[in-house]
Amino acid sequence: MTAGPRRRIVIVGAGVAGSILAYGLKDIAGADIICLERAAPEDHSDAGTGLNVGPNAIKALRAFLPDLAGTLVEQSLPWNSWRISLTNGRELMNLPLLDVADNPGIRIRWSALYRLLRQPVLQHVRFSTEVIAMRYARAGEAGPIVVETRNRRSGVTAVIDGIDLLIAGDGRYSAVRETFLARPQPEFLGVCIFRLLVEETRPELIDDYEQWFNGPNRLLAFRVPGNATYIAGSFPIPADRDVPAAAKTAAALRALYTPADGAAHAQSAWLIDTICSNVADIHWARLQEADMAFADPNGRILLLGDAAHPMVPTLGQGATQAMEDACVAVAELRQALAGNDGDLAGAVRRIEQRRRDRVEFVVRFSRDATDTMLAGADPVSGSLAKNAPGFRAKLARLYRDAPAA
């Protein structure tokens, strides 16, 4: 049997989805894999914050890419529980994840996650490379794609042509999506969210995943490897406005999270003091989501992760769903590349079919779980409701219904 022609697959972005996809396809004989990444190899080494990866992503990786799953689990801390309290110390929920999941999740630094995912695919990644133009080779036809790039260090430009499949792993503000489909219109939920990673731990106070409320103002924290603590906070703001400068001060943040009826509990007090001592290092953003899109009509463009479905991070499913996307894409593209016809467009359609309903559920559930963070919310009744069978059943669906190989 004669082998078919090699298919050129270009991935824009060596983030979570892009790196995992490159890992899953790098040894396929019928594929020429090129990954384009704006950052330099040393970027993200000290940058960023931390994240929790859901049990569903680890379950999916173990089914599709067990070696990679093993590496991530070995180099992270387990996410075993989810606890919700008020900043005065009153406990509202304490959930062992194995009540609703088949395995723990993980806690890790973003920088470590990038390093672990990129290391096995370095020969396929062109770092410091930005895409400056993209187009179908023949206007109006579903033919190959051409990408023009520029090296951000040398300024040298290059053309990659004959691309059979262009994959967008370039995040929430995807240039690929904007070029070939349309720019998604963000919907802001009226919540400010900030993130901070401090090179300090108090394991007796902060260890596994916990949340603390003072009214709708929420803190979230957990310990990550390397003697560091990840802290995130949120508070309501008008949906049509940016985060006000007055809210970014130590005094304003302390007032948001200190109980009006007394002093903060020891856990919350340490978090508040740590936030106020590191205001200059905080990353600020607004909670937002946008509509979903997986592919162009021709099956020449595939969108994964935040490029496909920008969602609110309330349930920690952003990177988690990017991992699920990548696992399904690896399986379908491997199957297509193994066939004589190399039907990549058919694989793209199957990926969308397998992912759409699942992602729609996750997006909707993440939005609904944001109820306690909105203006006027009652975090006591809202958090207590998360102990009810209905919410737990949705969590079980989220964590257990991961894609199967």
Q: How far apart are CA 265 and CA 142, in angstroms?
A: 61
Model confidence pLDDT, tens digit, residues 346-357:
999 999 999 999
The reported pLDDT for the residue numbered 331 is 97
Q: What would the mean pLDDT of 276-295 be, rounded to a whole number?
A: 96
User: Is residue 289 predicted with pLDDT exceeding 70?
Assistant: yes
Distance CA 235, CA 31 (A): 47
Give residue-wise pLDDT tens across range 311-340.
Answer: 999 999 999 999 999 999 999 999 999 876
Instruction: Return the pLDDT at 1.
Output: 34
> What pTM was estimated for this model as a whole?
0.95
Task: Render pLDDT for 222-252 as a digit per residue (tens, 0 to 9).
Answer: 999 999 999 999 999 999 999 999 999 999 9
Is the confidence at residue 285, as pLDDT, over 90? yes
Does residue 109 have a pLDDT over 50?
A: yes
Confidence (pLDDT) at 340:
61
Mean pLDDT (the chain) is: 94
Tally of CB atoms within 10 A around 230: 24
Q: Contact, 21 vs 10, CB < 8 A?
A: no
| Cβ-count burial 269-301 (b if 16+ within 10 Å, e if not) | bbbbebbeeeeeebeeebbbbbebbbbbeebbb
Report d(CA 368, CA 380) in Å as an integer.
16
- CA–CA dist 235, 22 (Å, integer): 38
Contact 145, 166 (CB under 8 A): yes
Q: Which two tokens stand for residue 276?
A: 């106020």
Give percent of the chain above pLDDT 90.
91
CA distance 124 to 14: 10
Label residue 140 by pLDDT band (50, 70, 90). low
Identify the residue with better confidence: 142 or 215.
Answer: 215
DSSP conformation letters of 27-87 = T-TTEEEEEE-SS-TTTTSS-S-EEEE-HHHHHHHHHH-HHHHHHHHHTSEEE-EEEEEET
Alpha-carbon distance of 325 to 322, in angstroms, equals: 5
pLDDT tens sequence across 3-29: 567 899 999 999 999 999 999 999 998
Q: Given pLDDT bands bounded at 50, 70 and 90, which one contains residue 277?
A: very high
How many H-runs (helices) and E-runs (strands) does the chain carry?
11, 18
Tell me, what's the pLDDT at 2? Answer: 44
141 pLDDT band, cuts 50/70/90, is low
Task: Report d(CA 351, CA 365) in Å as an integer.
Answer: 21
Number of alpha carbons in the 13 Å side-chain half-sphere of residue 138: 7
Q: Dig out the tokens for 308 from the structure.
A: 């496909």
